[in-house]
Copies of this chain bind each other. A is one copy, B any other.
Amino acid sequence: MDKRQSSKSDIVQSVDVCIDVLLNVAKNPDIRLTEVAQNLGETKPRILRMLRTLERRGLVRKSDTGTYRLGTTAIILGTAASTQVDLVRIANPILEEVGQKANETTQLRIIDNGESLCIAKFEPMRDLRVQAMIGRRRPLTAGSYKVLLAYLHPQVQLQMIPETLPRLTKRTITDRGKLVAELDKIRRQGFCVSYGEVSDQLVSVSVPVLAFDGSVIAAVNVGAPAFRTQKSDVDRFIVLLKEASSKISARLGW
């Protein structure tokens, strides 16, 4: 029937679906054909063809029990990507430096599709530490990742804040008005500290990475267990992160 959707003009549907398939396999290791088809609401033959195509190219691998995982070509893509995405390439050594000094886990997060997305990380060598994972998503409205929201145009900001705010812990802010007020405070002070908003017992500190025009392109973050984190540590983290943030900005060309 109709064909011109609002904004989906000029994309190749089969490729689009195939990306869905690929990401589905990435998210669910050892997934089966039928499962993928169900997840995506597509027919089995279609998905089978896609998986076969991906398999030929080494992007996925079919085990002898018929389950699918990512393949070696995906690894190659990923390593190539991490040298090509400026932000990641530049941030990585800086994240490591901060992580070493703070002796806690650091992350680089961007806004992606209405959530915060971890695209680089460093974890220190110690038994107990915050676990970070590239690709993991978190709400923008909870924890110190709020800094990503704080610098948006008020209008866009409101669009990004859902009607009901997901409650992750008892400290999560769930009132829109309060959240907006908090964002205002963050913008004025230039950082955000969250105590147990995302996970109990965790302290998280974030500082925005700003472009020359004042727009946010990412956030750098330190996450630490609350029991070993004093006020003075938090202050140290903030200083470290601010340095890191300006270094990244600078190296990106500003």
User: Per a CB cutoff under 8 Å, which of B52, B77, B85 touches A77?
Assistant: B77
User: Per a CB cutoff under 8 Å, which of B19, B69, B85, B117 touches A57?
Assistant: B19
The interface stretch among A10-18, A32-40, A227-235 is: A10-18
* Complex contacts, A179 vs chain B, CB 8 Å: none
The answer to whether A119 has its CB under 8 Å from any CB of chain B is yes
- Count the copies: 2
A 106-137 to B, binary, CB cutoff 8 A, 1 in contact else 0 = 00001010000101100000000000011100
Q: Say what secondary structure dominates the interface of chain A.
A: helix
The interface stretch among A21-29, A164-172, A189-197 is: A21-29
* Complex contacts, A78 vs chain B, CB 8 Å: 74-82
A 54-78 to B, binary, CB cutoff 8 A, 1 in contact else 0 = 1011110100000001111111111
A49 and B11: CB pair below 8 A? yes
B88 and A50: CB pair below 8 A? no
The answer to whether A6 has its CB under 8 Å from any CB of chain B is no
Known: A70-B84, A75-B82. 13 other contacts (CB 8 A): A11-B49, A12-B14, A12-B50, A16-B56, A19-B54, A19-B57, A26-B76, A26-B81, A27-B80, A29-B83, A70-B80, A76-B135, A77-B81
Residue pairs across A and B with Cβ atoms less than 8 A apart, 18 shown, are: A10-B49, A11-B53, A12-B50, A12-B53, A14-B14, A14-B15, A26-B76, A27-B80, A70-B80, A70-B81, A72-B81, A72-B117, A74-B81, A75-B88, A75-B120, A77-B81, A78-B79, A78-B81
Could you tell me which A residues sit within 8 Å of B by CB distance? 10-12, 14-16, 18-19, 22-23, 26-27, 29, 49-50, 52-54, 56-59, 61, 69-85, 88, 110, 112, 117, 119-120, 133-135
